[in-house]
Chains A and B, each alone.
Chain A
């Protein structure tokens, strides 16, 4: 099932220049006749990526609400700092505040488009920094319905694409694009992403597990614009169809361009992160 189409460099350049020429328009005009669904899928995804470039750095507070099948809730309180990288995946520092027994535990990640991410974990009780394997992409993040992979920054090269068609609903016109992870350690065979035609924001994602059955649906709600340019969903709801459990992320205190530097993302900053 896995789509393994790899574009030769020349085709990639062609498509990206095409995407650039279309940037001035509010929506992309596609012609199924002229381009393959793979090319269109890539083009849409590039546009999603391009439109969210240049935010430089951000900090935000995340409240994670885990609900099990009986409706019981538990809460995680997390702070995330991110730094955009020009030629590589983003750097991020994640600090736990709740539950209290893991307060001060911090997670440093250097995301890469072309190879495994570099990840370190800081354990405050032992004052120990541990380099951890990033191969465990599919594992749950803090017992939630989000996996580590779901938190990794979106890079165009992490997937191959296929445009499935348009879908209108909920007052939005959306492109429907299928994404196939390049990394064989991904927990998914594919994702189907709904991207709105107006702002190129991801509205919904369906995740298919390794057996290619529908595992989870993620809905992005209440998008808010920051610095007059960058859109962030204030709420993200992940529902696991196979277990009935769900996790909601509530984002707050988004601040962009706070002046974070590379030196805010190293072993030293990991040890004193709050």
Chain B
């Protein structure tokens, strides 16, 4: 009995050991080829407007909000297949319209030797300039999130990317369209008339189900980085049509179809970065060229320190002009915000352990009175906390400029983001 039990025990032990070995082998095999990761950030944002609101329904001086943006990432097949899910939500204590969410990303990527396939909701950035992102066209602007238009809504897409000796070719099928988000009645940083988010009209009978197409080629040739594309589909910029509803007026969004050719070019020559973006847009109401061009010069190790000081200068031109122009035959054309504008800026990076940076920018319209001034300062505290302090001043005395409506909306913003 004793022997038997010992034998049984030892068999059991062997089987157990085998099982454990098999399981651990399996685990290590999956661990080496598959991966799951959760990262993201939680943010607290406090805005303070220096002046009382211009319109009675708008909130007064302070505005607090909390945002969360986790990212879930799965990869398998040695990282050649991956899935990313990145939802976003902001809760604003006083502005219901700014309490909003979006799926920033829900995309699958398959990578092969000389091609890559991406499917799902994704974000794509095209361009080289800093003060206006003229060439960037794929994603819709999240206009309630921020005034600068740098926040984008996720876009549904199928994207095949082909890597060739002569550059990268990206083919896009964009099924479905996202309407721009706009400030609501309580929101600051808006015009007098509210934008109607319900009665949206489209040129295409497919409305927001229109299948948009884009093809882009990009390449690096020595000191030059060049990109060029053609886009066919729904214009991301709506025409806003004032409409009388009862005894109040409202702006109705209308989305045209457009064909757009775009070009972006950067020459990296020593301390100089020369930047150029241009688009040609054709819709059934107008067709025009627009350009954003300039340079960035960096003094590295300025004043015998580790800091870099960059100086930026950019100019915007738009064939549509400033709008409201009697010489303009297409009286329908609202004109462009940046039609003859100049921007100056400076970027100071201390290159310290906290990655302290200050960005200053000033933009002004050369045709009429309209100027903006911006300071963004960021610094990391500890390993996971990042603080940003922004100041934005908006000024205009000319009623044709959009900034005229925002002249009381100068604000300071402190945001703390905790990264995990």
Contacts and interface: CB of A to CB of B under 8 A. Distances in A.
A140 B351 contact: yes
In this complex, the member of B114, B298, B383, B420 whose beta carbon has the largest number of chain A beta carbons within 10 angstroms is B383
A143 B354 contact: yes
Contacts of B41: 100-101
Contact of A99 (B111, B273, B380): B380
Contact of B417 (A101, A144, A263, A274): A101
B82 A272 contact: yes
A272 B272 CA distance: 28
Interface stretch (A39-47, A129-137, A195-203): A129-137
B397 interface: no
A187 B417 CA distance: 35
Nearest to A66: B353
Contacts of B308: 136, 139
Contact of A132 (B161, B268, B355): B268
B75 interface: yes
B266 A133 contact: no
A269 B113 CA distance: 11
B168 interface: yes
Nearest to B138: A127
Interface string A107-134: 0000000001010000000111111111
A135 B269 CA distance: 9
Contacts, number: 99
Contacts of B125: 126-129
B200 interface: no
B398 interface: no
Interface string B408-419: 000000000101
A68 B353 contact: yes
A243 B109 CA distance: 46
A263 B114 contact: yes
A100 B351 CA distance: 17
A98 interface: yes
Interface in B90-113: 109, 111, 113
A96 to B, nearest CB: 11
B220 A101 contact: no
A101 B386 contact: yes
Contacts of B386: 101
10 contacts: A68-B353, A99-B383, A101-B380, A103-B419, A131-B220, A131-B273, A139-B300, A139-B351, A140-B352, A261-B113
Interface of B: 39, 41, 73, 75, 79, 82, 109, 111, 113-114, 116, 123-125, 127-128, 150, 161, 163, 168, 218, 220, 225, 266, 268, 270-273, 298, 300-301, 306, 308, 351-355, 380, 382-384, 386, 417, 419-420
Top-10 shortest CB links A-B? A100-B419, A143-B353, A136-B300, A127-B125, A128-B125, A101-B386, A140-B351, A131-B225, A101-B419, A127-B123
Given A129-B125, A274-B75, 6 more contacts: A98-B383, A99-B419, A126-B150, A136-B300, A266-B168, A267-B218
Interface of A: 66, 68, 74-75, 98-103, 116, 118, 126-136, 138-140, 142-144, 187, 261, 263, 266-269, 272, 274
